Structure 1
Amino acid sequence: MPLVSTGQLVREARRAGHGLAAFNVITLEHAEAIAAGAERAGAPAVLQISENAVRFHGGRLSAVAAATAAVARSCEVPLALHLDHVVTVDLLRQAHAEGFSSVMFDASKLPYGENVKATAEAVRWGHERGVWVEAELGKVGGKEGEPPLDAHAPGVRTDPAEAAAYVADTGVDALAVAVGSSHAMTERTASLDHALITRLRTAVPVPLVLHGSSGVPDEEIRAAITAGMVKINVGTALNTAFTTAVRAFLTDHPSTVDPRKYLAPAREAMAGTVADFLAVVRG
């Protein structure tokens, strides 16, 4: 099936009143697992490659992008390709040529005024090429290399009035907001501020994005979608499934040297996780 655009999938999910799950790709097995899980659930999804993943692949986007796109095109359900947490302009400007319909430009670490300026420029560049642009306002925290962040600390969460001004001044197509989740959580214990999500949905005209969803329990994700979240990002949950399966296999078969032997159950574990999250976001 041809690749579809992230913007199209987000609009369809928003109209239907359910969520759209977006899953992080690191290896070929991640991409294959996401496609398999989406087929199993009979639901669309987004395959997203972060700047950190590009760095893991030697700073070269082309190979991992081409492999991920090839997997997506062979899938029987609609899949989109998204470039996530981009902080460098050079990588941003590779997005369109490599087949990405959307990009999350992350200037959230900059002071507010600089964030607005950089994001508005990224949006102008993207819209000239038909690229849908997501941005982040607030401090979700938890990314590799960042200091620990209390998702409930004062000043961390996204302010609705500031969010409205930010969207108006940048022209972004979607906004990732800080409402109580955190990146890289390995336990699903996050408690979200659903009243704040409702206020943000009222304040801004664009779809809301939940980062750090791996640490959010199913019932919290469902309630967040009811309150106004649309795009639900999942990364660490796949890595947890992958690593748990590999560790279990090698514990039981310590003499194994053929990576296919342990990558197959790891891929299957991730596919199951993908299917489970897709069932949750679609109610």
Structure 2
Amino acid sequence: MLASTGDLVAAARASGGAVGAFNVITIEHAEAIVAGAESARLPVILQISENAVRFHHGRLAPIAAAARAIAASASVPVALHLDHVESDELLAEAVINGFGSVMYDASRLPYAANVGATASAVKRCHAQGLWVESELGEIGGKGGAHAKGARTDPAEAAAFVTATGVDALAVAVGSSHAMVTRSARLDHDLIARLAAAVPVPLVLHGSSGVPDDELTRAVHGGMAKINIGTALNTAFTGTVRAALGTHPDLVDPRRYLASARTAMAETVTTALQVLRSGVLPA
């Protein structure tokens, strides 16, 4: 069933847990994410990034329609989120393609320019009923503005939220995008200070490289939305590679994509259970 990202994040935050947000690249990703969430009996967020849209020849509508249909038929609440949007043109496509939320990313700009661009985007998005996430602190793993080792300052984060009106804030606390090993160590003291200073939910990007115990501590510390992408791709690619290595004569993609989809679903189920593990009893 389709749900609102804002509602899922608010409910997770209120219960002391976090909601998982997983990157969709192919239809198999979307199917696997929902299957994994149904197995865990937990809500989930399907997110499509600007990079994924670029992979689909710059066309958002086809992959968005598939994700929306898969979400609508799910037995658990599923939200649609447009992630890491830098293009104003793509931002304008969010509502007409069924998204309830966006992550507007102006983090490559200097602070003052980031504030101005984000405030403008928030005003436009709120007028359309969109929940808006943004980023401050240059989260590592993408080069350029996403510098490894960067950290978000709590006072600056609080000022940024006030100036822009964002509904959630992604912060840099030690994770990094595109990690294929789970070796990241988070700054939990900083997470606690950010949670105390920032009035909106906190988001952790680059969570594929964060071990389970670190994720659990981050959720306890105040992280309410946890983004995971590379872990799915690792499961997908590893399974396909193994299948083709064992059966080099395979030509029907259904023969190996089915097992890859299952591997991603299992990854989602495990991750959601970790994020739910700290939830306070009802």
In the superposition, the TM-score normalised over structure 1's length comes to 0.96
Amino acid at match of 2:110: P
Matching residue within 154, 168, 172 for 1:160: 154
2:251 aligned partner:
257
Q: Does 1:39 align with 2:38?
A: yes
Displacement of 1:147: 8.5
Amino acid at match of 1:249: A
Displacement of 1:141: 2.0
Superimposed CA distance per residue, residues 166-210 of structure 1 (whole angstroms, 9 cap, x where no aligned partner): 000000000000000000000000000000000000111000000
Amino acid at match of 1:92: L
Q: Does 1:228 align with 2:222?
A: yes
2:163 aligned partner:
169
Q: Does 1:59 align with 2:53?
A: no
- Contact in 1 for aligned 2:141/2:148 (Cα 8 Å): no
1:211 aligned partner:
205
Distance 1:185 1:147 in 2: 17
Amino acid at match of 1:262: Y
1:266 aligned partner:
260
Amino acid at match of 2:139: V
- Contact in 1 for aligned 2:21/2:46 (Cα 8 Å): yes
Distance 2:141 2:198 in 1: 25
The CA RMSD over aligned residues, in Å, is 1.0
Equivalent positions of 1:42-121 (< 5 A) are 42-121=41-120
1:199 aligned partner:
193
1:150 aligned partner:
148
Distance 1:174 1:140 in 2: 15
Displacement of 1:139: 1.2
SS of aligned partner of 1:97: helix
Displacement of 1:148: 8.3
SS of aligned partner of 2:68: helix
Distance 2:108 2:153 in 1: 16
Matching residue within 272, 276, 280 for 1:282: 276
**Count of residue pairs the alignment pairs up:** 277
Distance 1:11 1:76 in 2: 20
In the superposition, the TM-score normalised over structure 2's length comes to 0.97
- Contact in 1 for aligned 2:139/2:148 (Cα 8 Å): no
Amino acid at match of 1:65: A
